[in-house]
Structure 1
Amino acid sequence: MNCAWLKVALSAALLTSSFGLTGCNRDGSGTDVAAVSATEAASWMRANAHQPGVVSLPSGLQHKIVASGPASGPRPDRNDLVRVDYEGSLTNGEVFDSTFGRGLPSVMSPAEVIPAWTEALQLMRPGDEWLLYVPPELGYGPRGSPPAIPGNSVLVFRLRLLDVAATPGNGNGIGEANG
């Protein structure tokens, strides 16, 4: 499979994300906005854990199964290539990214995304669709990804695993796929 276009796209996305990382701001009151947000995020995650159908994993990641694919489907490892549709939003419902909206699924390796996705994708099978509730430490952390994602934000993702392409020899994902 020739995925040269994918390597360029992922490199651009990672570079864009890294430029968005900035320090914490203060709101003028002398209160560290990120610290307040961390407390609010922890409170939100505790409350969400009690919602019907929500499963809490030891890492702090929470998920809810929306749809299940065939139980015989392969689960990707962290170096495989996966094709997914997703929509990411903040807890207030504000969408910051969506392949559903673009109509073009994304291809990536679970090793090259936020820790919550790395964990969740390895538990999913093609056809599975989950809602992920991501605590800040498994997402973008205290820095966030400005301007769309404030520091210490809980993220909500609708994630649908479409396909898995196992990397030959359990190699290094995209690097191996590009030969």
Structure 2
Amino acid sequence: MKASRIFVAGAALAFAAASHAQSNAVETLPSGVRIETVTAGKGMKPTADNTVTVNYRGTLANGTEFDSSYKRNQPISFSLRQVIPCWTEGIQHMAVGGKATLFCPAKTAYGARGAGGVIPPNADLTFEVELIGVR
């Protein structure tokens, strides 16, 4: 009987640990941008004045992919001051080597204007972002 209790207790602890390991930290910024950390980076964290290099995949709320640097097999580099507010804010909460999912309310993305006939007006967007470098 004692061995059974130990086994059950051990199984419960293993389940709790696995459940905790699978849950990603989510931070909501004042703008409404949500950042779900998939993998915490260990390198430098950028500021708005930095240029960053990332791989990313962008999707609409219905899951339709509208862009992916992964598909082009080509990361992109840009100044954080030259992109949508969601990226400027969200990527500053990442560290090099990290992966996160950014949930961008329309007002922090392309707003009422949409973009390029691919992103409709007032679209909430999701980006899977991998921060490769900061300079």
Q: Same fold (TM over 0.5)?
A: yes
Task: Measure the CA separation in 2 of the matches of 1:147 and 1:112.
Answer: 20
Q: Is 1:147 aligned to residue 117 of structure 2?
A: yes
Q: Deviations over 1:113-164 (max 9, x none)?
A: 0000000111211011110110011000011114110000000000110011
**TM-score normalised by the chain length of structure 2:** 0.79
> Residue in 2 aligned with 1:57?
29
Task: Determine what percentage of the aligned residue pairs are the same residue.
Answer: 39
Q: CA RMSD in A?
A: 1.5
**TM-score normalised by the chain length of structure 1:** 0.60
Q: Deviations over 1:43-88 (max 9, x none)?
A: xxxxxxxx97432211110121111111xx2211112111100000
The 3-state SS of whatever aligns with 2:89 is helix
> Residue in 2 aligned with 1:68?
40
* Structure 2: gaps (5+ residues): 1-22
Of 50, 54, 58, 1:80 maps to: 50
**AA at the equivalent of 2:59:** S
Of 115, 121, 125, 2:85 maps to: 115
> Residue in 2 aligned with 1:134?
104
Preserved CA contact (<8 Å) 2:55 2:131: yes
* Structure 1: gaps (5+ residues): 1-50, 166-179
The 3-state SS of whatever aligns with 2:132 is strand
Larger Cα-atom Rg: 2
> Residue in 2 aligned with 1:95?
65
Task: Measure the CA separation in 2 of the matches of 1:98 and 1:129.
Answer: 15
Residue 111 of structure 1 and its aligned partner are, at CA, apart by 0.6
Task: Measure the CA separation in 2 of the matches of 1:160 and 1:66.
Answer: 9
Task: Measure the CA separation in 2 of the matches of 1:142 and 1:63.
Answer: 23
